[in-house]
Amino acid sequence: MGAHVVARRIDGFSHEVDLGDGFEMVVDEPTEDGGSGTGPRPTQLLATSLAGCAAITIELYAERKGWELPGLEVEVDMRSDAERRPTHFAVEVALPEGLDDERRKKLMVIAEKCPVHKLLEHGAEITVTEKARA
C-alpha cells in the first residue's frame, strides 16, 4: 500500500494538492507568514494525520473486539521550535465513560501503534530527486 500525492502551485505559497482517489485540498501558510491563508499549513497536516490515524487505529481495534466507543476523541497539540519545525506532539485520547480499566489501558497502548505515530517516532527514509519534464 502506498500513496501518490502531487502539489501544484496556485499562487504564492498556496498549492493545490491532489491526494488521489478524487480527493483534493489546498495547503498554504497563514497571512502573517507571507501566505494567503487559503488552507492549512503542511505541518498542521502532520498533527491532523496523527490525530486521525490514532483515532482510526483505536476504532479498528475496538471494532474487532466488539466494543462501542461513542464520543471517542483524539486531540493533538503540536509544538514547534523558532524555525517552526515540529518538535513535540502531545496526544490526548478521550475514551468514553463506562469502559473498565483493562479496556482503557489496552486502548491507550493501541493508540501508540498507529502508523503515523510510529513514523514520527522512528522516522522514514526520504529521497528527493528532480523530475524530468516531458
Domain segments of the chain: what residues?
1-40, 41-124
The CA–CA distances, whole Å, from 122 to 1, 17, 42, 110, 129 equal 19, 26, 20, 17, 23
Q: What pLDDT tens digit does each residue of the chain (134 aa) get?
A: 788 999 999 999 999 999 999 999 999 999 999 999 999 999 999 999 999 999 999 999 999 999 999 999 999 999 999 888 899 999 999 999 999 999 999 999 999 999 999 999 999 999 999 999 88
- The cell numbers describing 24, all together, are 483534493
d(C-alpha 126, C-alpha 109), whole Å: 28
Predicted model pTM: 0.91
- The cell numbers describing 12, all together, are 504564492
What's domain 41-124's superfamily in CATH? K homology (KH) domain (3.30.300.20)
